């Protein structure tokens, strides 16, 4: 079984922090809550932990209703963005603290602390105090303490946000292995799509307190159920554009017309929003079916390995699409030198588009060609 | 306008530094050109913030001089230098409106009336803050606040350099793109020297024309993003830039080939005169190490794991027991864990004791 | 939406309820009971209705006159000490060190007056300000300024105001200091870069950050000074004449000196209601100001 949220809502002073969220998290699974600041990640975790009570809905652990039960009566461990350790205790005592509270026998404490320390590569620092550790080691200590507690539910709220980029990379790689070794339900909140992809497991995309989608991480990434989920799970931001389908013709907001090919071919006539990620906006024609669009370079960013080109596409058909411009991002491998203001031709591949209907739901998507 | 000269600059937080270890910033001499976009990149504790504080005047260096356009400013306080700074956490005067926030540095310098109003509105327009001018600072989102902090620097006509201290730390990923491209556009429009401190390689590489990589109080490499990526001068740069970082493998190098655990890897350059006592390694980025089906030539490897990163797939492989990361082409499907690794000879570099060896061109 | 509520939590509140009931509510009921009766001793009581209240609130009666005189003295005293202690406390907090060992030293020195029992503070000043053997009183007189708090009302007022300032400015300073400490260094650095003057920094960074603690400081100091009893009682005993007789001192005179239990009870109820009302006004004004700023 595991943790079940059944139509859970939380309203505070007329504001909906969480609105009608249903989730089933299995034991032994790693679940990523992905969403921007204030999307409800922390609120949802507080409900799972029992720190807050839902205004509506039920929370079940292994089939037992625990909705009103206090956090003390639940088996929960939590790791926060800030490195929270007991400053006066050694790393050893920090890790041992939940076991001491539970009055476990000495030899068991020693065994578990050393095991967790080995798992998190803290063995050389057991006698130091937290201030003598680097940020990464402090957070490892906090994670080790959460692990030895052997709680049924381990919540990690953006645990790597305060760490250096490279340290994050290292821990991201290790965390799934560490989690896999225990049988708890792991919930991990992050704002970064790349982190969700690296952690694998399941991902729940959140937006304004609502659940946009929940499923296996690669599935959510490659088959967003709706526009919101696709936006939340895209970095650089998702490129979108409104289109009309009229018979075999497709009309883009930029005024371009083209034959409705690829995923658009089978759809009924209507207005749609197309969406695709930066790596599917090409600056060289990928094949004959690709649709060419003209835009203006706004900014280009070169990382050495990749180039990000931000392109403004003016909406020529102001009456139908409501003027303005769409800002798209293209990413290409290698170094591409383009100047802002330069006119540029870019190509979209009609076979690699997500198409969303009026209600934002996915209407068509490319076949899952890549093996996950 | 400012060209920044650092002359034999060094700093130690201890009063009488003995050895190298006592220096938070080891002696360095650099020239940063007027109008350049520089990034100071390195892990925490590498000295990048110390260097930034010395340039801004919040810290007086224990040795050496700082010149702005040839004028010695080493002993001048912050307010006497023509610089502005944007901090990690947005600094906004809560009780003031956005307009008043932007006008504040000008009022402090005695500007009043129509010129002040015109300048404030000009900068607000530049930062897309016009619609928010009458709102109170405290009710704004983190990215708007950060724009105001920046605006208070830009509004001063005398500002020659803007310093950024990890300014995107509290900004959500999708807004980071927006703010970063805004910064880029401003840099192009305004001819200002910008210095950006960060530990995040993406931010540094995308923002800067010149990236200054720091490690342990030293500048280990200074160059264009492409140079840092394609020819890291030090294994640290190779590791720190790139995600995952460069593969570094112990090797025996003779002539135009490297031997790693019994396998020969061809090199583009020749290395006849390597120091016998030095630790010799080869470095190759995952981007230049491509996986191919077993038997496709190259070096045989064992695939341990596949990471789907969305845009790309990275394979964790073992070459004679040594762990490496390699790129998996989009159309490749692997059968079993046997595969072949193709390395671009031009992108395989040789390092002696961690430092790049130039080698002889072909 | 019905949700399970843990009824056991009420048990935790019970001890507090009991203590409050015995220490506050029961005595209060007794006082209310006294305030509507008259007594001539011998434990004999007569119903007097709202008689005492009418007399108390009518300045033309003897009781009412005394009450209003004392009340104005109270308000004047509170106003004076707030006008002195708040700016002085802010000034002290601003000049306190922010880093290093001096922080601890300053905090200890500041906390000292707060640790002294109130009647001891009174005794210290009673001796300190005496014109014959007190250092202060003697020195002031030697400077050619006539000063005698036992005979001259102005001297008496100066003495008790100075004593209160000496005793309680530390509290205001410590609260302000706590507010100042919550300002990140980046704010000061940014202000320097913006070319802000000392006054601009105070006005735009420090004062807004101290705003909340200042409200608490004003509230605490007002309530405390409005209820002041011990120190002036020890120093001046309410004199010379009635010049430093505050409501609380008058109350004790009435109840324990004259055994006018009914009058004293009515006075204490009205006194209590005034304090509650003023606090309520303070509180609502403060919270409303706070809400407006947001």
What DSSP letter does each residue of A14-61 carry, written as one string? Answer: TEEEEEEEEEEEETT-EEEEE--TTSSHHHHHHHHHTSS--SEEEEEE
Q: How far apart are CA A186 and CA C160, in angstroms?
A: 64
Closest Cα in chain A, distance from residue C112 (Å):
29
CATH assignment of the domain containing A7 = 3.40.50.300
Secondary-structure breakdown of chain B: helix, strand, coil percentages, each rounded to the nearest 5: 30, 35, 35
Chain B nearest-CA distance from A320, in A, is 26
Kindly give the residue spans of alpha helices, DSSP state H, lying in chain C.
Answer: 9-20, 26-35, 51-56, 62-95, 101-115, 118-128, 135-142, 153-181, 185-193, 198-201, 207-226, 230-235, 247-252, 261-293
In a domain, A124, yes or no: yes
Nearest by CB: C187 against B84, B91, B95: B91
- Residue B181 touches chain A, beta carbons under 8 Å: yes
Q: Which residue has the tokens 């005034």?
A: C274
- Chain A residues whose CB is inside 8 A of the C1 CB are 55-56
Cβ contacts below 8 Å, chain A against chain C, sum to 11
User: Domain for residue C109, yes or no?
Assistant: yes
Beta strand B322-328 with B313-319 is antiparallel
Reported ipTM: the value is: 0.81
Picking from B85, B95, B136, the nearest residue to C193 by CB comes out as: B85
Of B89, B109, B136, the CB nearest to C184: B89
For residue C227, the model assigns a pLDDT of 83
Distance from the Cα of B284 to chain A's closest Cα (Å) equals: 13
Please tell me which of the candidates C187, C193, C204 has its beta carbon nearest to residue B96: C204
Asked if B205 has any chain A CB less than 8 Å from its own CB, the reply is: yes
Neighbouring chains to A with at least 3 Cβ pairs closer than 8 Å: B, C
Amino acid B302: pLDDT: 93
H helices within chain B, ranges in order?
48-56, 98-108, 113-126, 142-154, 173-190, 201-207, 225-230, 235-240
CB B286 within 8 A of CB B344: no
Distances (CA, A) of C35 to C48, C63, C71: 8, 14, 19
Query: Is A191 part of the contact surface with chain B (CB cutoff 8 Å)?
Result: yes
- What span, in angstroms and rounded, lies between the C-alpha atoms of A234 and B146? 23
Residue C39 lies in a domain: no
Distance between CA atoms of residues A145 and A120, nearest Å: 10
Is A195 inside a domain boundary? Answer: yes
- Which stretches does DSSP call E strand in A138-194? 153-157, 185-190
Contacts of B353 (CB under 8 A, 6+ apart): B275, B278, B279
Q: Are residues A23 and A166 in the same domain?
A: yes
In a domain? residue C157 = yes
pLDDT of residue A320: 57
List the chains bordering chain B where 3 or more Cβ pairs fall under 8 Å: A, C
Identify residues of A whose CB sits under 8 angstroms from chain C CBs: 53-56, 67-68, 70
A68 contacts C3? CB cut-off 8 A: yes
User: Which two tokens mark A210?
Assistant: 């609502």
Give the separation between CA A365 and CA A350, rounded to whole angstroms.
Answer: 10
- Is residue A150 assigned to a domain? yes
- Give the CA count within 13 Å in the CB-facing half-sphere of B154: 23
Partner A contacted by B94 (CB < 8 A): no
Q: Say how many CA atoms lie within 13 Å of C15 toward its Cβ.
A: 2
pLDDT less than 50: residues of chain B: none
- Is some CB atom of chain B closer than 8 A to the CB atom of A169? yes
DSSP string for residues in B21-62: GGEEEEEEEEEE-TT-EEEEE--TTSSHHHHHHHHHTSS--S
Nearest residue in B to A302, CA atom: B206
Same domain, A271 and A325: yes
Question: Torsion over CA of A92, A93, A98 and A100, rounded to 10 degrees?
Answer: 120
Q: Are residues A312 and A256 in the same domain?
A: yes
Per-residue pLDDT in tens (0 to 9) along chain A, 372 residues: 689 999 999 998 888 899 999 999 988 889 999 999 889 999 999 999 988 899 999 999 888 888 888 877 888 898 988 888 888 899 999 999 999 888 889 999 999 999 889 888 888 889 988 888 888 888 889 989 988 888 889 999 999 888 888 888 888 888 888 887 777 899 999 999 999 998 889 999 999 999 999 999 999 999 999 999 999 999 889 999 888 888 888 888 877 787 888 788 888 988 999 999 999 999 988 888 888 888 899 888 888 788 899 999 887 655 555 556 788 999 988 888 888 889 999 998 888 889 999 899 999 888 775 433
Number of neighbours of residue B327 by Cβ within 10 angstroms: 19
* Minimum CA–CA partner of A55 in chain C: C1
**pLDDT tens-place values along chain C, 294 residues long:** 444 556 677 788 888 888 888 888 888 888 888 777 777 666 777 777 777 777 777 778 877 788 888 888 888 999 999 999 999 999 999 998 887 788 889 999 988 988 888 888 888 888 888 878 888 888 888 888 887 777 888 888 888 888 889 989 999 999 999 888 888 888 888 888 888 888 888 988 898 888 888 888 888 888 888 888 877 787 777 778 777 788 788 778 777 777 777 778 888 888 888 888 888 887 788 777 777 665
Q: Are B82 and B158 in contact (CB under 8 A)?
A: yes
**Which residue in chain B is spatially nearest to C198 when comparing CA positions?**
B108
Question: Which of A135, A279, A298 is nearest residue B44 as measured by Cβ atoms?
Answer: A135
Q: How many domains does chain C have?
A: 1
Residue A291: inside a domain:
yes
Residue A234 within any structural domain of the chain: no
Q: Which residue of C has its CA nearest to A54?
A: C3
Q: Is B189 on the interface with A (CB under 8 A)?
A: no
Candidates A193, A305, A331; nearest CB to B229: A305
Interface test mutation site (partner C, options A6, A20, A68, max chain C beta carbons within 10 A): A68
Residue A232 within a domain: no
Q: How many CB atoms lie within 10 A of CB A124?
A: 10
Domain enclosing residue C119, as ranges:
59-293
Q: Say if the Cβ atoms of B188 and A340 lie within 8 Å.
A: yes
Q: Are B239 and B251 in contact (CB under 8 A)?
A: no
Report whether C122 contacts C235 (CB < 8 A).
Answer: yes
> At CA A306, angle to CA A302 and CA A312, rounded to 5?
65
Chain A residue with minimal CA distance to C9? A70
Q: Do A178 and A102 sit in the same domain of this protein?
A: yes
Are C190 and B85 within 8 A, CB to CB? yes
Write the pLDDT tens digit of every residue in C215-241. Answer: 888 888 888 888 888 777 877 777 787
Which residues from A are below 8 Å from C7, CB to CB? none
The domain that contains C193 carries what CATH number? Answer: 1.10.3720.10
Across the interface, whether the CB atoms of C4 and A70 are under 8 A apart is answered no
Q: How far apart are CA A89 and CA C242, in angstroms?
A: 61
CB atoms A198 and B240 under 8 Å: no
Residues of B in contact with A335 (CB under 8 A): 226
Residue-level pLDDT at B164: 92
Output the 3-class SS for B304-361: EEEEECCCCEEEEEEECCEEEEEEECCCCCCCCCEEEEEECHHHCEEEECCEECCCEC
Instruction: Report pLDDT for C42.
Output: 66
Other beta carbons less than 10 A from residue A292's beta carbon: 12
Between CA A310 and CA A313 the distance in angstroms is: 10
Residues A88 and A158 in one domain: yes
Shortest Cα distance, chain C CAs vs residue B209, angstroms: 26
CB contact under 8 A, C204 and B87: no
- Residue C154: CB atoms within 10 A of its CB come to 12
> Which residue in chain A is spatially nearest to B244 when comparing CA positions?
A169
B308 contacts on A by Cβ (under 8 Å): 197, 200, 218, 370, 372
8 Å CB contact between A205 and A212: yes
Distance from CA of A133 to the nearest CA of C (A): 23
Last residue of a domain, one of A227, A250, A266: A227
Core vs surface per residue B145-175: b (16+ CB within 10 A) or e: bbbbbbbbbbbbeebbbbbbbbbbbebbbbb
- Rounded to whole angstroms, the Cα distance separating B146 from B143 reads 5
Which residues of chain B form CATH 2.40.50.140? 247-356
Q: For residues B50 and C97, what is the distance between their CA atoms, to the nearest angstrom?
A: 24
For chain A, how many structural domains are there in total? 2
- Among the candidates A177, A202, A227, a domain finishes at A227
Q: Name the CATH superfamily housing domain B4-234.
A: P-loop containing nucleotide triphosphate hydrolases (3.40.50.300)
CB contact under 8 A, C4 and A67: yes
- Which DSSP string do the residues of C231-272 spell out, in sequence order? HHHHHTTT-STTTT--HHHHHHIIIIIS--HHHHHHHHHHHH
Q: How far does C193 lie from chain B, in Å, by closest CA?
A: 5
For residue A259, the domain's CATH number is 2.40.50.140
Same domain as A222, residue A253: no
Nearest to C4 among A55, A56, A68 (CB): A68
CATH 3.40.50.300 positions along chain B are: 4-234
Q: From the CA of A139, how many Å to the nearest CA of chain B?
A: 15
> Are residues A243 and A166 part of one domain?
no
Instruction: Give the integer Cα–Cα distance in Å for C150 and C131.
Output: 9
Contact call for residues A208 and A182 (beta carbons, < 8 A): no
Q: Report how many Cβ contacts below 8 Å link chain A to chain B.
A: 102
Cis peptide before C240 (omega within 30 of 0): yes
Contact residues, chain C, for A56 at CB < 8 Å? 1
Rounded CA separation A175/C283 (Å): 50
CB contact under 8 A, C208 and B104: no
Contact B225 A302 (CB under 8 A): yes
On whether both A330 and A183 belong to a single domain, the answer is no
The CATH code of domain B247-356 reads: 2.40.50.140
CB contact (8 A) between residue B229 and residue A304: yes
Question: How close B36 comes to chain A (CA, Å)?
Answer: 15
Whether residue A107 is contained in a domain is answered as yes
- The residue segments making up the domain with residue A260 are 239-364
How many CB atoms neighbour CB B232 within 10 A?
28
């Amino acid at each position: 079984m595991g943790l079940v949220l059944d139509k859970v809502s939380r309203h505070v002073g007329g504001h909906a922090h969480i609105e009608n969220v249903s989730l089933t998290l299995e034991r032994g699974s790693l679940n990523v809550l992905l969403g921007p600041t204030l999307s409800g990640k922390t609120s949802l975790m507080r409900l799972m932990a029992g720190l807050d009570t839902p205004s509506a809905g039920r929370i079940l652990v292994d089939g037992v209703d625990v909705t009103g039960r206090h956090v003390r009566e639940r088996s929960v461990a939590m790791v926060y963005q800030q490195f929270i350790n007991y400053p006066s205790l050694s790393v050893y005592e920090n890790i041992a603290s939940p076991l001491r509270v539970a009055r476990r026998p000495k030899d068991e404490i020693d065994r578990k602390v050393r095991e967790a320390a080995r798992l998190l590569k803290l063995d050389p620092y057991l006698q130091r105090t937290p201030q003598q550790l680097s940020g990464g080691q402090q957070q490892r200590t906090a994670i080790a303490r959460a692990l030895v507690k052997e709680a049924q539910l381990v919540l990690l709220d953006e645990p790597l946000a305060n760490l250096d980029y490279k340290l994050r990379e290292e821990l991201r790689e290790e965390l799934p292995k560490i989690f896999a070794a225990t049988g708890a339900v792991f919930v991990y909140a992050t704002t970064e799509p790349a982190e969700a992809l690296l952690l694998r497991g399941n991902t729940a995309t959140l937006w304004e307190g609502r659940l946009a989608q929940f499923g296996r991480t690669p599935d959510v990434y490659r088959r967003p159920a709706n526009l919101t989920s696709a936006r939340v799970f895209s970095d650089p931001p998702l490129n979108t554009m409104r289109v009309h389908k009229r018979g075999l013709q497709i009309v883009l907001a930029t005024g371009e017309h083209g034959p409705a090919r690829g995923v658009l071919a089978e759809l009924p006539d209507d207005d749609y929003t197309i969406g695709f990620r930066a790596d599917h906006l090409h600056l060289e024609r990928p094949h004959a079916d690709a649709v060419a669009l003209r835009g203006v370079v706004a900014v280009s960013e070169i990382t050495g390995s990749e180039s990000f080109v931000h392109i403004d596409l003016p909406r020529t058909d102001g009456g139908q699409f409501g003027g303005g411009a769409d800002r798209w991002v293209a990413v290409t491998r290698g170094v591409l030198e383009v100047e802002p203001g330069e006119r540029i031709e870019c190509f979209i591949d009609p076979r690699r588009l997500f198409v969303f209907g009026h209600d934002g739901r996915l209407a068509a998507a490319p076949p899952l060609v890549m093996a996950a | 306008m400012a060209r920044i000269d650092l002359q034999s600059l060094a700093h130690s937080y201890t009063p009488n530094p003995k050895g190298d270890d006592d220096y938070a910033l080891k002696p360095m001499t650099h020239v940063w050109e007027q109008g350049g976009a520089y990034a100071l990149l390195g892990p925490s504790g590498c000295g990048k913030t110390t260097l930034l504080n010395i340039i801004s005047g919040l810290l007086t260096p224990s040795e050496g001089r700082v010149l702005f356009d040839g004028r010695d400013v080493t002993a001048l306080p912050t307010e006497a230098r023509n610089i502005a700074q944007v901090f990690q956490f947005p600094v906004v005067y809560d009780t003031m409106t956005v307009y008043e926030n932007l006008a504040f540095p000008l009022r402090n310098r005695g500007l009043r009336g129509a010129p002040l109003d015109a300048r404030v509105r000009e900068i607000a327009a530049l930062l897309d803050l016009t619609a928010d001018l009458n709102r109170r600072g405290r009710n704004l989102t983190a990215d708007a606040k950060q724009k105001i902090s920046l605006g208070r620097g830009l509004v001063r006509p005398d500002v020659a350099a803007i310093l950024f201290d990890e300014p995107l730390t509290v900004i959500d990923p999708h807004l980071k793109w927006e703010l970063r491209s805004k910064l880029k556009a401003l840099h192009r429009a305004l001819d200002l020297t910008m210095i950006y401190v960060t530990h995040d390689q993406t931010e540094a590489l995308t923002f800067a024309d010149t990236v200054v990589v720091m490690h342990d109080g030293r500048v280990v490499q200074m160059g264009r993003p492409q140079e840092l990526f394609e020819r890291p001068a030090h294994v640290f740069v190779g590791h720190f830039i790139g995600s995952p970082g460069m593969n570094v493998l112990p090797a025996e190098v003779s002539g135009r080939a490297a031997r790693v655990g019994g396998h020969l890897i061809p090199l583009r350059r020749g290395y006849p005169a390597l120091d016998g006592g030095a630790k010799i390694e080869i470095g190759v980025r995952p981007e230049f190490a491509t996986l191919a089906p077993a038997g496709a030539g190259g070096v045989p490897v064992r695939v341990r794991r596949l990471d789907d990163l969305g845009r790309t797939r990275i394979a964790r492989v073992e070459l004679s027991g040594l762990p490496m990361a390699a790129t998996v082409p989009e159309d490749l499907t692997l059968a079993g864990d046997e595969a072949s690794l193709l390395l671009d000879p031009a992108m395989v570099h040789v390092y002696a004791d961690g430092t790049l060896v130039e080698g002889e061109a072909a | 939406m019905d949700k399970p509520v843990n009824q056991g939590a009420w048990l935790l509140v019970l001890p507090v309820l009991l203590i409050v009931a015995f220490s506050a509510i029961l005595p209060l009921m007794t006082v209310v009971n006294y305030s509507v009766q008259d007594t001539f001793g011998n434990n004999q009581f007569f119903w007097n209705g709202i008689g005492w209240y009418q007399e108390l609130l009518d300045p033309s009666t003897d009781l009412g006159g005394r009450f209003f005189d004392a009340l104005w003295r109270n308000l004047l005293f509170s106003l004076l000490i707030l006008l002195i202690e708040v700016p002085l406390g802010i000034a002290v907090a601003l000049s306190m060190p922010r880093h290093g060992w001096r922080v601890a030293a300053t905090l200890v020195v500041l906390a000292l007056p707060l640790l002294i029992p109130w009647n001891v503070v009174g005794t210290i000043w009673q001796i300190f300000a005496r014109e014959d053997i007190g250092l202060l009183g003697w020195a002031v007189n030697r400077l050619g300024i006539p000063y005698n708090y036992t005979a001259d009302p102005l001297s008496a007022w100066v003495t008790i105001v100075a004593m209160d300032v000496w005793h309680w400015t530390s509290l205001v300073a410590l609260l302000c200091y706590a507010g100042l400490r919550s300002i990140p260094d980046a704010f000061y650095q940014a202000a320097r870069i913006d070319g802000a003057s000392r006054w601009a920094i105070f006005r735009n960074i420090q004062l807004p950050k101290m705003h909340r603690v200042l409200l608490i400081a004003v509230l605490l100091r007002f309530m405390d000074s409005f209820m002041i009893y011990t120190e002036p009682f020890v120093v001046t005993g309410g004199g010379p004449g009635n010049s430093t007789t505050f409501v609380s001192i008058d109350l004790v005179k009435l109840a324990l000196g004259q055994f006018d239990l009914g009058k004293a009870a009515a006075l204490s109820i009205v006194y209590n209601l005034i304090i509650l009302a003023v606090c309520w006004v303070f509180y609502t004004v403060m919270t409303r100001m706070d809400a407006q700023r947001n």
